[in-house]
Structure 1
Amino acid sequence: MNTKIFKNSLSVLFIIFLQFNVSAQISEKIELTKGNKLLGLGTQYILKSKILQEQRPVIISLPLGYENSSANYPVLYLLDGLGNIKHEIGTVELLTDSGIIPPMIIVGIESLDRSRDLTPSNAGQDVYGGVGDAGITQSGGAPKFLQFLEEELIPFVESHFRTHPYRLLEGHSFGGLFSTYALMEKPDIFDAFIIQAPALWWNKEEMTEKAKGFFKSNSNLKKAIYFGIGGGDGWGMQQELKRYVQVIDKNPPQNLRWKLEEVGDEDHDTSRLLLNYYGLKFVFSDLIAPEELINDYSDLAFLKGERELMNKYGKHARRPVSNYVDIAFKLLKEENDLGAIVVLNRAIEAYPKYIGLMTNLAKLYEKTKQEKKAIETYKLAIKLSKKLKLGQEEDFKNEINKLKKN
């Protein structure tokens, strides 16, 4: 292979890094209300719950593009939804744009009585947060609340929206306690958990005691679980969480992916934003291309891996764009231009707004004497440039004219 051509082919992929970031910053439009207020936090629904004997408000936020798609989406069930929905949606949209997580439906479950719904047992006198000898009299409602999720809320969501079977439960503090309870009480309901600063001190660490039997008897537990806590969190949280995960360490299920992470010096409340971010990244960390795929590439294995991710997380699941670039760049160094074409085609399917991917795919088609496909790709790039107002139409037309003259 000519050295000059080889160097040019490598520079092609460097250009991508300069161009895809521009497209990544182009945001979808958000509808306005009559008063010109931005929407985007979702729609409130009121469920008449027979199980809880009350009207239960939930906020449902659909992913960008939902209305124009026929795809099914994983669902994230968010405890204390009203207090967490704002930062949750922002983080989810950011990570989705980056390909770190798949697009999801978010169901924010508003709290009406946290001490009742999120605690797995009744706490009597001397309990932290109790009053006098009465303790927290309404506590212990988690079994009924979990029944509400399983028999009323989840069926409502799945009958009214296009959902993928993958479900994620996220909770902080009492919500983390409830998430831990739900994991061990009904492990089949959710596929993954983000458990933030859980109140595992509850009733003399009864969840940790329960874990000793649970993880021994569930050696094939196939879940992803993120345990996170702020470095500045205090009494009742850090040591109790460490004791809980030590139980998993002693009896680790073979198919369980889990992580304990302490984040900075954040206190109990301020840690939520960071723990949500790192928790989502961990749960969906299998979207990152494994080293064996990169080091021992084949078209068959690459495409099989893409199908598996879409089967697991929905048709819009994708790897981070840098993954596709890294794989294509490595293939070019190995003079596997046709393999790089396969990767870039998939990258364009996953990131249809990244014009740099189209440009470089067209150049690779040209390099491999596939002029018709190069022209077709440049035409797609022209349409995208017009749509996004990138001003590159004339450049692409010139490239097409050069190809037609040859």
Structure 2
Amino acid sequence: MNSRLKFLLLNLFLFFALLTKAQEKITVGEKQTLFSTVLNEKREIWIHLPKTYNDTGINPAKYPVIYLLDGEINFEYYAGMSDFLAKPPYAEMPECIVVGIKNTERTRDLTPTKSGKKSPVNSNVVLFGDSGGSENFVRFIQEELKPFISKNYRTQDYSVLVGHSFGGLFAVNVLLTHPEYFNAYVANDPSLWWDNKVLISRTKDYLEKNKNFPAHKFLYVAQADNEEQNKNWNSDMTQAIEEFKEIIEKNGSLNYKHHFYENEVHGTVSYPGNYDAVKFIFKGFRTDIKKLSKNPQLLEEEYKRFSEKTGTNFLPSETYLNVVLKFMKSNDFKESEKYFNDLKHKLYPKK
């Protein structure tokens, strides 16, 4: 074989090798379909697994689950955001499984009551005629979707419900009617104007009956600048959110935060709202790796405080302990390195 032919064959080999490499894909998640007997229809679910989920170098871990409404709109950015915020050594949250729920009949599923609202341009037309099916939808999530996720994936007993607009309305309604279903709730610009502010009445009734919300529950409400940006087109929404805020803050029993986003409108507020909501819900999760070098016991103390706050037992992940050990070793903190090595073997013994 002459040198010219060898040269051509080598270049062909390199070309196909590069072509194969160029075709490797970055996967955000996977789609699953399950049939709901409650809703009598197939539902498509999008699932994002944490980066360490299939890491064979660590013990199989269990992960909290975030249930994301309007999955077809929010899934891709939320998956990337959750990975970013869970990346050690500056993780603001634990790694989580993200479950995006794709819509079929959005108004039906997310609204708590049947609407009798007439069209402002034609009094013979009733708006949102297919509304009022949220109780069936939450049954689907609690009785069918959650068991499906728990059966097929490694889940920790901690879950978050995230919604926007009608989805935010749904999240608040679930908090009022079934607060035990989720540990934390996120309502981005919730449509609390719905049905003559029916959820405002339900909130008052709930607190009159129960006095307080259950312990360890979290609610984050993001409010867009709808009136300023849209020339008062949505003043009913603004008034309802403000009224809800006043009731919740006056009661004071809920881990609650409301944030007004003056530079965001209804269609954009969920992006920054979801980012800030995660940091609020998981505040106290992040530990200072530099402080651990001088006080290694601080890690367990802070995780204990965070667990007490959330009502769920959280432990430092094996991945984070590996990062801490690498930091201690590279900076020659021998005593701290031994402490964290012993802690790792205690929490994650080799099989």
- Report the TM-score, using the length of structure 2 for normalisation: 0.77
Matched, 1:244 2:248: no
**Larger relative contact order (C-alpha < 8 A, sep ≥ 6)?**
1
Distance 1:65 1:301, change over 3 A: closer
* Alignment partner, residue 37 of structure 2: 50
Q: Does 1:221 align with 2:187?
A: no
**1:112 correspondence with 2:104:** yes
Residues 202 and 220 (structure 1 numbering): CA distance in 2 closer, same or farther, change over 3 Å? closer
2:155 maps to amino acid? T
Pairing 1:305–2:302 present: yes
Residues 163 and 201 (structure 1), Cα distance of their counterparts in 2 relative to 1, 3 Å cut: same
Q: Tell me the C-alpha RMSD between the 2 structures.
A: 3.2
Q: Which runs of 5+ in 2 are unaligned?
A: 1-18, 342-351
Contact 1:215 1:248 in 2 (8 A): no
Distance in 1 between residues matched to 2:272 and 2:110, nearest whole Å: 22
Matches within 5 A, 1:6-405: 36=23, 38-68=25-55, 69-97=59-87, 98-126=90-118, 132-216=124-208, 217-222=210-215, 223-232=217-226, 235=234, 236-253=236-253, 256-288=254-286, 302-307=299-304, 309=306, 312=312, 314-316=314-316, 349=321, 351=323, 356-360=327-331, 362=332, 364-365=333-334
The alignment partner of 1:85 has SS state of helix
Aligned length: 301
Residues 1:300 and 1:95: Cα distance change in structure 2 (over 3 Å): closer
1:62 positional shift: 0.7
Instruction: For 1:298 and 1:119, locate their aligned partners in 2 and report how far apart those are by CA, in whole Å.
Output: 51
Q: Report Cα offsets for 1:169-226 as digits up to 9, x if no partner.
A: 0000000000011111111000001110000010010001110121341525221110
Segments of 5+ residues of structure 1 without an aligned counterpart are: 1-31, 319-346, 377-406
The one-letter code of the counterpart of 2:329 is: M
1:40 CA displacement: 2.7
Offset at 1:356? 4.7
Asked if the contact 1:142/1:178 (under 8 Å) is kept, the reply is yes
Q: Which amino acid aligns with 1:286?
A: G
Is contact 1:118–1:141 with CA below 8 Å preserved after alignment?
A: yes
Give 1:351 shift: 2.5
User: How far does the alpha carbon of each residue in 1:282-311 deviate from its partner, in whole angstroms, 9 at most, with x for none?
Assistant: 111132569xxx8xx976565233356479
Q: Distance in 2 between matches of 1:316 and 1:300?
A: 12
Q: 1:103 to 1:238 in 2, by over 3 A?
A: same
Range moving further from structure 2, 55-64 or 237-246:
237-246
TM-score, normalised relative to structure 1: 0.67
Q: Which has the higher helix share?
A: 1
Query: How far apart, in 2, do the equivalents of 1:349 and 1:210 lie?
Result: 45
Distance (Å, rounded) in 2 between the aligned partners of 1:146 and 1:302: 37
Is contact 2:165–2:191 with CA below 8 Å preserved after alignment? yes
User: Does the aligned pair in 2 maintain the 1:118–1:142 contact within 8 Å?
Assistant: yes
2:100 and 2:125 map into 1 onto residues whose CA distance is: 34
